[in-house]
Amino acid sequence: PVPLIIDTDTAQDDCIALLAGLLDPAADLRAITMVAGNVGFESQVRNAFMTLNVAGRLGEVPIHLGCRRPMVRPWVSAEDVHGDGSGGLDMDFEGCATEREHAVDTLVRMAAERPGELSIVAIGPLTNIAMAAIRDPDFARNVKALYIMGGSNNGRGNITAAAEFNFYVDPEAAKAVFALAPGLPITVVPWAPVTLDQAVFAQPALDEIAALGTPLADFFTRVCAATLEFDQSVGIDGTTHPDSLTAALLLHPELVRRSARYNVDVETGGELTRGYAAMSWGVHGLPDNATVVDDIDAAGFYAYIKGLLSTPTRPQ
Ligand code: BDR
Ligand code: CA
């Protein structure tokens, strides 16, 4: 199994990405690290605990609290998209506490304990990752692979015309992380085209999932309800699954159909382009610094998620 940390702003699809880390035998999830992003920090932590609970893994994977705001700017959330991030779900997880160690220290420590072995799936703003690299100059070198959900490979944003949410919230952190290559092997799963074209579950798929009737399928339907409503309101025909796709592609690289080496950089200025990801290919003088996923086995990804949600679990 792949030893990994999931760095998350836990709401909706982040929860499903956590399920991949918690239930897929190919994963050895060592820690969950929390970063400011989608919804209030307390809600994000609750959502992560509820995910551990529904997976039957409460108390088995530590949750470490990380940066409460972006490196330079005020925090921007996406409560209009996610509500509280779990459809008002209210599970008891009394007696479970987050760890004392700060998430940035956890990232640094776990990477240093097993140089070249730890992978990281970063599915929120990149604040914790950038801070870990500032904290320990060996951090980038120690990490085996960093899979990032963020940016777009055709300039199509979701929080603005130009920017995807994770890069928009902390563009300075995102820029700093891409500057860590080539020491750090980075793979990017963008919002567009791959998420929008290939990781949308339309109503028939959602009906199939609901019909599974497992606690995990019920959880999926509940936590994804707010995103479904929002996605439909902006003309997307179903729910978007960028975060779980990112986890799935790390654990099952055979789901990638086409990827290429790009130079990725992130706009930190710009009146209308804050957080825009410039993904350049074949531009004179720009060395590649990341692999960008452009095409996936969409049916295989859906089957993967459906398989995960079919797992019989006993919430504690
Ligand atoms: C990203 O932003 C968040 O709202 C989602 O969790 C995902 O990580 C998509 O832009
Ligand atoms: Ca996320």
| pLDDT value of residue 172 | 98
| pLDDT value of residue 135 | 97
Q: What's the CA-to-centroid distance between 95 and ligand 2, angstroms? A: 26
| pLDDT value of residue 97 | 93
| pLDDT value of residue 316 | 74
| pLDDT value of residue 93 | 76
Radius of gyration over every alpha carbon of the chain, rounded to an integer in angstroms: 18
> In whole angstroms, how far apart are CA 12 and each of 33, 57, 184?
16, 18, 28
Unique residue bearing structure tokens 């100059």? 137
Q: What's the CA-to-centroid distance between 107 and ligand 1, angstroms? A: 21
Unique residue bearing structure tokens 């996610």? 82
Q: Average pLDDT per run of 10 along the chain, which is 316 residues long?
A: 98 97 98 94 94 95 98 88 82 85 98 97 98 97 98 94 97 97 94 97 97 96 91 93 98 98 96 96 92 98 98 82
Mutate to test the pocket of ligand 1, among 18, 129, 165 (most ligand atoms within 8 A of CB): 165
Which ligand does the CA of 77 lie closest to?
1
Q: What's the CA-to-centroid distance between 150 and ligand 2, angstroms? A: 9
**CA-159 nearest atom, ligand 1:** 10
Q: What's the CA-to-centroid distance between 285 and ligand 2, angstroms? A: 33
| pLDDT value of residue 241 | 98
b/e string for 22-34 if b means 16 or more Cβ within 10 A?
A: bbbeebebbbbbb
Which ligand does the CA of 149 lie closest to?
1
Q: What's the CA-to-centroid distance between 144 and ligand 2, angstroms? A: 21
Q: Measuring from each residue's beta carbon to the nearest atom of ligand 1, which residues come in under 6 Å?
A: 11, 13-14, 38, 78, 81, 123, 149, 158, 164-166, 191, 242-243
- In this structure, which residue's CA is closest to atom 2 in ligand 1? 165
ipTM beyond 0.90?
A: yes
